[in-house]
Structure 1
């Protein structure tokens, strides 16, 4: 089964309060795309931290202005990942997918697997994972943005699996 990597950016980390997803990105080999997520009405009053904004560089004003409705983002995300194995490097990404689906009034469309499962399947030891991290770091992906982080993880997984890729610039899906 083909692997798609996924990453969410959020209003804050849950340890700082109730967080909601503000961007989701996916990558498949060398191609990536992302969606800015307009805050849903049900998230009113949920937390937003300056630390998170500084990390990902997305202001609340920008996501409210350029973000797509949760129903659109979820539908496009589901279509883009259909029939694929979806993998993330953080367990918290499942929480943000669940939060997005709940706001859209839909069941969670898929389960996100943690990359460690794939490492175990590949028999990747610490040295092999370390070499993959160094390779992914050298690919120049923009970190702390959803598509860039998904590209980074895609490069890491490709290296562990022995597949060659050359990441392309991410495509951002935002309101017109």
Structure 2
């Protein structure tokens, strides 16, 4: 089964308040897709922190203007994931997928596995994990944007699984075309 990595960016971390997803990216190998998500009415009054904004570089006004409706992002994401195992490096990604599904008035369509499951399945020791992290870091991918983080995790996963057909390339465009 093909592994697809996923990453969400959000309005804040849940420990800072009610958090909603603002961007989602998926990647496999050097292929990626990302979506900026318009704030849904469900999230009105939820929290937005300047720390999160500084980290991902997206303003609330920008996602409102450039983002796509949550239902459309959800439908395209579900279509894109079809038949693949989805892996993330944060347990919070499942929370944000659940929030996106709720905004689309749909059940959560898949479960996101944590990268630690792959480490265990591959019997990766600390040295093997460090080597996979170094491999992913070697591409200098932009971080704290969903596509860049998903590509970084895909590179780590590929190295861990010893799949190195096409290394990820630095991104110039992080948002999916409308």
TM-score range, shorter chain: over 0.9
Report whether the alignment pairs 1:39 with 2:39: yes
In the alignment, the residues of structure 2 paired with residue 17 and residue 171 of structure 1 have an alpha-carbon distance, to the nearest angstrom, of 27
CA RMSD of aligned residues (A): 1.0
Q: Deviations over 1:38-75 (max 9, x none)?
A: 00001000000000000000000000000000110000
Task: Verify the 8 A CA contact 1:68 1:174 in the aligned structure 2.
Answer: no
Q: Which residue of 1 aligns with 2:30?
A: 30
Q: CA deviation at 1:166?
A: 1.4
**Aligned partner of residue 175 in structure 2, secondary structure:** strand
**TM-score between the two structures when normalised by the length of structure 2:** 0.96
Task: Verify the 8 A CA contact 2:145 2:174 in the aligned structure 1.
Answer: no
Q: Which runs of 5+ in 1 are unaligned?
A: none
| Structure 1 residue corresponding to 2:175, chosen from 149, 172, 175 | 172
Q: CA deviation at 1:122?
A: 0.8
Give the alignment of 1:1-176 within 5 angstroms. Answer: 1-164=1-164, 165-168=166-169, 169=171, 172-173=175-176, 175=178
Deviates more, 1:31-40 or 1:162-171: 162-171
In the alignment, the residues of structure 2 paired with residue 18 and residue 174 of structure 1 have an alpha-carbon distance, to the nearest angstrom, of 29
Q: Which runs of 5+ in 2 are unaligned?
A: none
In the alignment, the residues of structure 1 paired with residue 140 and residue 75 of structure 2 have an alpha-carbon distance, to the nearest angstrom, of 29
Q: CA deviation at 1:163?
A: 1.1
**TM-score between the two structures when normalised by the length of structure 1:** 0.97
In the alignment, the residues of structure 2 paired with residue 109 and residue 42 of structure 1 have an alpha-carbon distance, to the nearest angstrom, of 19
Q: Deviations over 1:134-170 (max 9, x none)?
A: 1111111110000000000000011111111311435
The number of equivalent residue pairs is 175
Deviates more, 1:157-166 or 1:1-10: 157-166
